[in-house]
């Protein structure tokens, strides 16, 4: 960027004028999300090896996990726990807002209780889950 500095004689402050034409425009590689495409374009943000797995996570063993081999029960239990936890968080947040902004004690308090029960139920299901060999 090009800046012109000048000093105001009355206040002793320095003022800066920024040339709007000197702002750096984004390049095509700034919008690329695929590390292999970035490596081919010569983007310096790609890892040294050029391997996309290195760019996504520091652990290359994560790429070897195949979720298609999981039993249906495990997938279903995971989905139920995620939905229960999300329901609990949503109910607590909406309940707290109803209590604070509208002062609706019955509905806001009920939603907070429902949210806490859903989170506790999620925790209970997680602790008591069956192990898969």
One-character DSSP codes across 46-65? S-TT--HHHHH-S-GGGGG-
User: Residue 120 domain-assigned?
Assistant: yes
Same domain, 27 and 56: yes
Over 90: is that where the pLDDT of 23 sits?
no
Same domain, 55 and 106: no
Same domain, 108 and 78: yes
Residues whose CB falls within 8 Å of the CB of residue 10, separated by 6 or more in sequence, listed in order? none
pLDDT at position 99 is: 94
User: Residue 94 domain-assigned?
Assistant: yes
Same domain, 57 and 80: no
Over 90: is that where the pLDDT of 65 sits?
no
User: Residue 118 domain-assigned?
Assistant: yes
User: Residue 15 domain-assigned?
Assistant: no
Contact 112, 132 (CB under 8 A): no
Same domain, 71 and 117: yes
Give the model's confidence band at 70: pLDDT under 50 very low, under 70 low, under 90 confident, else very high: confident
User: Residue 7 domain-assigned?
Assistant: no
pLDDT at position 111 is: 96
Give the percent of the chain with pLDDT over 70.
48
Measure the CA–CA gap between 1 and 24, rounded to whole angstroms. 8
Q: Which of helix, strand or coil describes residue 11?
A: coil
pLDDT at position 48 is: 56
User: Residue 123 domain-assigned?
Assistant: yes
User: Residue 3 domain-assigned?
Assistant: no
**Cβ of 97: how many Cβ atoms within 10 Å?**
13
Q: What is the DSSP string of 103-129?
A: --HHHHHHHHHHHHHHHHHHHHHHHTP
pLDDT at position 75 is: 87
Give the model's confidence band at 52: pLDDT under 50 very low, under 70 low, under 90 confident, else very high: low
pLDDT, mean over the chain: 75
Q: Which structural domain, as residue segments, surrounds residue 33?
A: 21-65
- pTM score over 0.75: no
Same domain, 75 and 113: yes
Over 80: is that where the pLDDT of 88 sits?
yes
What is the domain count for the chain?
A: 2
User: Residue 11 domain-assigned?
Assistant: no
Same domain, 58 and 91: no
Same domain, 112 and 82: yes
- Which of 9-13, 78-82, 98-102, 110-114 shows the lowest mean pLDDT across its residues? 9-13
Please, which residues bridge with residue 18 across strands? Answer: 3
Over 90: is that where the pLDDT of 94 sits?
yes
pLDDT at position 9 is: 57
Contact 28, 43 (CB under 8 A): no
């Amino acid at each position: 960027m090009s800046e012109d500095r000048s000093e105001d004689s009355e206040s002793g402050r320095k003022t800066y004028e920024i040339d709007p034409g000197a702002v750096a425009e984004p390049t095509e590689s700034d919008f690329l999300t695929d590390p292999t495409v970035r490596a081919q374009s010569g983007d310096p943000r790609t890892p040294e090896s050029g391997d996309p797995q290195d760019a996504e996570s520091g652990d290359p063993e994560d790429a070897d996990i195949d979720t298609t081999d999981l039993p249906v029960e495990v997938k279903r239990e995971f989905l139920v726990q995620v939905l229960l936890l999300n329901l609990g968080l949503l109910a607590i947040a909406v309940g707290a807002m109803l209590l604070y902004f509208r002062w609706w004690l019955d509905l806001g308090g009920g939603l907070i209780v429902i949210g806490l029960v859903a989170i506790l139920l999620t925790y209970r299901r997680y602790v008591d889950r069956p192990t898969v060999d």
